[in-house]
Amino acid sequence: MTVPAEVFPELSLAQRDRLTYRRGQARRSRLLAGSSTVVFLAVFGTVIVLSPGWERVQSQFFDLQVARDSLPAIAEGFWLNLRVLAFCAVLILVVGLGVAALRTLRGPVFAPLRFLAAAYTDIFRGFPLIVLLYLVGFGVPGLRLQGVPTSPVVLGGVALVLTYSAYVAEVFRAGIDTVHPSQRMAARSLGLTYGQSMRKVVLPQAVRRVTPPLLNDFVALQKDVGLISVLGAVDAVRAAQIEVARTYDFTPYLVAGLLFIALAVPTVRLADWVNARAARRQQAGGLT
């Protein structure tokens, strides 16, 4: 069916025909994708259900009664994960941006600061997070320092901030490096200081360009906040472990996993939307 002329009066007949063809192709593609997905899920589900050990797995991982009974405790632990996530995300952005700024300082006098910032990113990007959690969570209380917190929640958050700040610092530095040097020189020629040019000219452009990778790091952080359970913090993962020990059923682990998925999916979709929007902007800029 051809698009009516009154819908797009400025288009020629050939253009309307091309638009109609593309819409038909898009509808057929969506129909084919949906059909193939349904067939795949049906085949996959049939293979799982007809497997010899399905009844045992169903009783141990998909017990609805156990899921309902364990949900309140796991949800309470998940609320702790959300608070740790919010606390860590803010600190990671601040520390990461500060480290990136140190790495971009110019001049030989700032060489020690650049070296320390580079050493920080190299060490904590290469250090396994689980090992760092053990070192911070059990090593810091062992020092018996006055005024130093010993809560596993706080210490677990510190380990997360140390690790993820190193990754975020490199993301920010990459964004800063993508801003053409002429932008800095133009800002300085207008009388702005180095700090003012970074704050008003360079950083706004850099932050806009690195938003998609920052969202991806945030998705990874959403999962890794569950690792504070190794220090004894009663979060969603630890609460699920307690429920498994009480019921001798693995369904609470599935409940905890579904809560983390429910948290991650909106952020993943937001990251995809931001990536697509950035790609469209880049293409539009290349055409102009």
The answer to whether residue 188 is domain-embedded is: yes
Would you state the pLDDT for residue 161? Answer: 96
The answer to whether residue 76 is domain-embedded is: no
Those residues whose C-beta lies under 8 Å from the C-beta of residue 213, and which sit 6 or more positions away, are 171
**Residues, the chain:** 288
Q: How would you write the pLDDT of the chain (288 residues) with one tens digit per residue?
A: 554 545 445 667 777 778 888 888 888 888 888 888 888 888 888 888 888 888 887 888 888 899 999 999 999 999 999 999 999 999 999 999 999 988 888 778 888 898 999 999 999 999 999 999 999 999 988 888 888 888 999 999 999 999 999 999 999 998 888 888 787 788 778 887 777 887 788 888 888 888 888 888 998 999 999 999 999 889 999 999 999 999 889 999 999 999 999 998 888 888 888 777 777 776 665 444
Would you state the pLDDT for residue 3? Answer: 47
Domain count, the chain: 1
The answer to whether residue 244 is domain-embedded is: no
Comparing C-alpha atoms, which of 73, 84, 71, 86 is closest to residue 152?
84
The answer to whether residue 287 is domain-embedded is: no
The answer to whether residue 139 is domain-embedded is: yes
Q: Which domain holds residue 139?
A: 82-234
Count Cα atoms within 13 angstroms, Cβ side, for 48: 8
Those residues whose C-beta lies under 8 Å from the C-beta of residue 224, and which sit 6 or more positions away, are 129, 160, 164
Would you state the pLDDT for residue 288? Answer: 42
Those residues whose C-beta lies under 8 Å from the C-beta of residue 127, and which sit 6 or more positions away, are 163
175-198 b/e (C-beta count within 10 Å ≥ 16 → b): bbeebeeeebeebeeeebeeeebb
The answer to whether residue 223 is domain-embedded is: yes
CA distances from 40 to 27, 34, 44, 249 (A): 20, 10, 6, 29
Would you state the pLDDT for residue 168? Answer: 94
Contacts 24+ apart (CB under 8 A), 272-277: 274/211, 274/212, 274/215, 275/212
Would you state the pLDDT for residue 256? Answer: 93
Would you state the pLDDT for residue 283? Answer: 67
